[in-house]
Amino acid sequence: MAEHGVLRIATCQFPVRGDVRRNARFICRQMRIASERGAEIVHFPEAALSGYAGSDFASFQGYPWETLAEETRRVRELAAELRLWTLLGSSHRPPRGRPTNCLYLVDPSGRIAKRYDKCFLTPQDRPHYQPGRRVVTHTLGGVKFGLAICFDFRFPELWRAYLRRGCRLVFLSSYQSRRDRFPLMEEVAPAILATRASENFVYVVANNTTGGHPWHSSRIVLPQGNVARRAPAGRPAVLGWTIDLSADRRFYNPIGSLALRAARGTLHS
């Protein structure tokens, strides 16, 4: 039986492209690696299966939705075979309106248990996607976590929402490998990740795509803000870590319960 408050995770990075079947091969290969290493949940980047509209392909006009559905089933079947929780970055086509940039939470039976839709869209996202309008949480192994995608990390209000809901871990899926577009992000993004972890006293499991000059490689950030593990930049990797809430007392935590008080509107000690 798994220990309460302990969760073995694996976060993955690989070069996402507009070829859904190619992306699926990477995903399934890394799922097997994560399972062999004892992970209970495996975490993939933003748009990992579908590719990213406006970057990997021009628009969703003529997009191969049937292929995406087929490969999504393939990933779900593998999750069931491996008995592995899976956080899958993809695109979701609703009955009306533009698609959403999403994270599917697939359970060990292969069922899509929950879906998070990226709430905060960049100007480049807006012609292709519609925003999500809700936070999504789940508890696994006694560890409650929230979901976020890329640009969401810029908005502390979203992270405070997860703090108010009792989350101790946030999975952040990202896509960015174009150094010529956002060179400052190589300095800014790691600082923001450390800040979000330390100001909310949460673990942050953050991944990225590879294949260029990513503004951060996949990493595990501890609640005090320092990086516990970091994947090598620029190449595929499966990064493992065990979240153990009993270790919290060893971390530097000057804010204590004040973070939650502040999140609930008490803006003083």
> What's the confidence (pLDDT) of residue 107?
98
In 65-201, the DSSP E strands lie at 85-92, 100-106, 112-117, 137-140, 143-149, 169-173
Q: What is the 3-state secondary structure (H, E, C) of 131-148?
A: CCCCCCEEEECCEEEEEE
pLDDT above 90 (res 111)? yes
Q: Is the domain defined by 6-263 classed in CATH 2.60.40.1510?
A: no
Count of residues making up the chain: 269
pTM: 0.96
CA-based radius of gyration for the chain: 18
Q: Return the closest-CA partner of residue 148 out of 40, 43, 12.
A: 43
Percent of the chain with pLDDT over 90: 88
Q: Return mean pLDDT, the chain.
A: 94
pLDDT tens track for 200-235: 999 999 999 997 666 778 999 999 999 999 999 889
pLDDT tens track for 122-143: 999 999 999 999 999 999 999 9
> What's the confidence (pLDDT) of residue 233?
85
pLDDT above 80 (res 88)? yes
pLDDT above 90 (res 73)? yes
pLDDT tens track for 230-265: 999 889 999 999 999 999 889 999 998 999 999 999
Are 216 and 206 in contact by the 8 Å Cβ rule? The answer is yes
pLDDT above 70 (res 102)? yes
Q: What CA–CA distance (Å, rounded) separates 50 from 75?
A: 12
Count of CB atoms situated within 10 Å of the CB of 131: 14
pLDDT above 60 (res 103)? yes
- Domain boundaries, given as residue ranges, for the chain: 6-263
> What's the confidence (pLDDT) of residue 3?
79
Q: What is the 3-state secondary structure (H, E, C) of 229-260?
A: EECCCCCCEEEEEEEEHHHHHHCCCCCCCHHH
What average pLDDT does the segment 41-51 reach?
A: 98
> What's the confidence (pLDDT) of residue 184?
76
